[in-house]
Amino acid sequence: MSEAAILTEGLGKSFGALAAVSELNLKIQPGAVYGFLGRNGAGKTTTMRMLLGLVRPTKGSARVLGLDPTRETELIRILERVGFVPQRKQLYGWATPAELVRMNKAYFPRWSDDAAARLAQRLEIPMNTAFKKLSIGNQSKVALLLALAQGAEVLILDEPTAGLDPMMVDEILRTLIEDHISQGRTIFVSSHHLGEVEQICDWVGILEGGRLLLESRLEEIRQEFRLVIASGEGLPVSTSTDLVSATTDGRFQRYVVAREAERFAAELRTHGATILEISPVGLRELFLHLVRKEDACTPGNVGAKAAPVSSFS
């Protein structure tokens, strides 16, 4: 498979005056495990819904497995090959998980009864209790079982572990790794639990205010991204492509740079800065730097106030 599993070009969705998603460009390769991060209302769910034909884009285009979700015939072919766990895991209250499994398998030619039975046992799902009588955690597990057992090439998971206890989260992540990631299937997952994302994802995209602020390999973030803390008066905020974020904290400037932190620090020194620290930056720290709105920061950090500083000459 050479085409992207998920491809969006200038994808946008507006609800009246509110732009939920703007100019979104994603290219998720087959086999990638892509963590889609953002605060509540950042546009993650709207993006996923556009990929599944639940919401129509107002701008741009999207392709899933090379197919256009805005065309009904192509959408049906997408839905045969994509498993989806929605944010609101609402299924028929009168149906038992066993009935839901029977109902669901009829839709998917690659459905695996073995996988469904194994997952039901592994996730300890009471299969003969009506869905409405299950706890929120068990309801989430049923939604996951239905998506995971359908033999999907692409899994789109919108906060799949919300409401689950740590034991179950661990079980689900192990299931994803063993049954899906190891088989080279594509996973596009949104989550607020950055630890989970770090555990399974190889790519992350950070969305804020409907715009993609950052897209990078997780390995690259671990190895290349650095936090540079400097003190000094009137330090610049660069528009350099290497600079991911800059925030002001009193007399201190905190910079996150994507690469060549030493060269960046040397450049700051030429502006009279004292470099206090150069350290690796974790996903959580990077996320907070990018989406925190109360701090002044660089272009690219949407919604933040512009920093009253000069730029590099």
Partner 1 sequence: MYAWKCWRESRARFIFLLIMFTVTALLFTLQQGLEVRDGWWYFDRSEYIRNPGPTAHVVFSMILSVLWCSGFLSAVFLGATASGSEIEPGTIEYLWTRPRTRASVTWTHWSVCAAEMVAVAVVPIYLAAVLLATLTKHWDFPFLFFAPWMIVIVGLPVLGLTTLMTALRRSTSGGLIYTSGVVIVYAILRQIIIVPLHLNPPTLFAGPLVWLVNNNQFGVPPIAFPWGSLWRAVFLAAAFPLAAQYLLKRTEV
What is the binding site for partner 1 (CB under 8 A)? 49, 52-56, 72, 76-77, 79-80, 82, 84, 86, 88, 90-92, 94-95, 99, 102-104, 106-108, 143
Based on CB atoms, which residue is closest to partner 1, 55 or 148?
55
Indicate the residue among 38 and 83 with the shorter CB distance to partner 1. Answer: 83
- Between 51 and 120, name the residue whose CB sits nearer to partner 1: 51
Orientation angle between helical segments 166-175 and 136-148, nearest 10 degrees: 0
Which of residues 50 and 268 has its CB atom nearest to partner 1 in the complex? Answer: 50
Closest separation in Å from C-beta 57 to partner 1: 11
Where is 266: in which H helix or E strand? helix 261-269
Q: How far is the CB of 99 from partner 1 (least distance, A)?
A: 8
How far CA 66 is from CA of 3, 21, 27, 84, 237, in Å, comes to 6, 21, 11, 17, 40
Task: Name the minimum Å distance from CB 178 to partner 1.
Answer: 24
Q: Which is nearer to partner 1, 88 or 183 (CB)?
A: 88
**Strand residues in the chain grouped as ranges (E):** 6-15, 18-28, 33-38, 59-64, 82-85, 154-158, 186-190, 203-208, 211-217, 226-231, 243-249, 252-257, 274-280
Closest approach, Cβ 85 to partner 1, in A, equals: 10
CA 297 to CA 313: how far, in whole Å?
18
DSSP conformation letters of 247-262: EEETTEEEEEESS-HH
User: Minimal distance in Å, beta carbon 155 to partner 1?
Assistant: 12
Residue 253: C-alpha distances to residues 249, 250, 302 (Å): 6, 8, 18
Of 91 and 116, which CB lies nearer to partner 1 in the complex structure? 91
Q: Which three-class secondary structure state does DSSP give residue 279?
A: strand
Q: How far apart are CA 191 and CA 35, in angstroms?
A: 7
As measured in angstroms, the least distance from the Cβ of 255 to partner 1 is 41
In angstroms, what is the minimal distance from the CB of 269 to partner 1?
53
State both tokens at 178: 């063993």
* Beta carbon nearer to partner 1, 107 or 266: 107
